[in-house]
Chains A and B, each alone.
Chain A
Amino acid sequence: MSELRYEAPKTLEAAVALLAGAQGLTKVLAGGSDLLVQMRAGRIEPALVIDIKGIPEMTTITAENGGFRVGAAVPCMEIVEHKAFAKTWPGLTEAIALIGSIQVKGRASVGGNLCNASPAADSVPALIAAGAMASIAGPKGKREAHVEDIVTGPGKTSLAKGEIVTSFFLAKRPPHAADAYLRFTPRTEMDIAVVGAAVNLTLDAKGVCTDARVSLGAVAATALLVAEAAAALIGSSVDDAALARLEAAASAAAKPIDDKRGTKEYRIKVVGVMARRAATIARDRAKGNP
């Protein structure tokens, strides 16, 4: 095994300089719950790991313009335990709460869940439905990107060499807004999504849906943002007819693989059901949010 270098920069600038200047395979180390397993299995042999947990803006949750900024390396348990965040974003919080065991969530981060680029990542559909923006730092400075534009395929992202996702921004919520995330797994806990569905919606004072975003996980090479499914809800009171249109649109958008955890036909069917149930939960939560 070649010599593995470890660096723990204290600033974003230092981390970007290390990433941009690196020779050989370089990996960002946040929680390490994917990276260390891949290294141990011999699937990757990095020359350099950059531990970014010493960088304050990557490891804190802060209020910003009435919304939240969540550092990309904040451990999942810290987000789950953040009462104000969980109240505002119950769906995103329940997605994050589904990532592995308590032990894994004590280390694993949302930035890592996104950049590991698994099609079955639980937090990614919920982030996309929430309209989360990723802040990215790189050798050419900082930029913002929609979360749905980061992952390009299994294990692949649109990040350029030297770029790193530093935080996520979740904007201030209007009244009567809520989200929900549901996944289907054969086991109750400690399993990987066969399908996942996230719905984020806003109602007006009369209960009519004025805005919606629907994202599906584990039914394509990347998490999908399904505009047709959102359109099925907008303008309706999220009644049975609208939910039936949403279910059909979600199933129609799914392009899953067959594998040992679910057949293609099964996933197409179940993702529609999960989307409908998630929309029902989000609707009921939104009605309870004055």
Chain B
Amino acid sequence: MAKHHVTTTLNGNPVEFLCETQQTLLDVLRDELHLTGTKEGCASGDCGACSVTVNGRLVCSCLMLGVEAEGKKIETIEGMANGAQLHVLQQKFLEHAALQCGICTPGMLIAAKALLECNPDPSETEVRYWLAGNLCRCTGYNKIVEAVLAAAVEMRRT
């Protein structure tokens, strides 16, 4: 069977790609479009490293077929900074040393951004519950939660 021809908007730009039915959106992002910022951790929806937004909704790109992206607006970590200008969340992750190996970081950032868009003033508990689907195996979660809360403060100011 011929490959699927899929038309999407990716980080604000029109993007077309070809994919097999079996390929997940994560496979397409990494292997076809060479956007390797989105990471593969578990490939079963447990770790959140592959988090992206689809039409504004936070999802695991490993749990979605590439062909399902037809007509959708996809946002990945590559679209987060504005050129050389880091997003506030990215800046706060650096300032708070909220990463070590970095594998979970793109997913954490995408998930945190989705949180602050629907809840600009989350409590620490709300941040922890929202990020429960993002696993980190090295930094531990405190610095990540602190960075998200610090970013929320700054984003409310500006």
Contacts and interface: CB of A to CB of B under 8 A. Distances in A.
A6 B6 CA distance: 13
A36 B67 contact: no
A102 B107 CA distance: 12
Contacts of B5: none
A120 to B, nearest CB: 16
B63 A1 contact: no
A102 B64 contact: no
A77 interface: yes
A86 to B, nearest CB: 15
Contacts of A51: 65, 67-68
B44 A40 contact: yes
A22 interface: no
A106 B51 CA distance: 11
Contacts, number: 84
Interface residues of B, number: 31
Nearest to A39: B22
Given A40-B44, A101-B133, A31 B21 contact: no
A32 B65 contact: yes
A107 B21 contact: no
Interface in A29-73: 29, 31-33, 36-37, 39-41, 49, 51, 53
Contact of B58 (A31, A53, A102): A102
B22 A100 contact: no
Contacts of B54: 106
Nearest to A81: B118
A103 B133 contact: yes
A107 B1 contact: no
Nearest to B48: A103
Interface of B: 1, 4, 20-22, 24, 43-46, 48, 51, 54, 57-60, 62-65, 67-68, 70, 111, 114, 129-130, 132-134
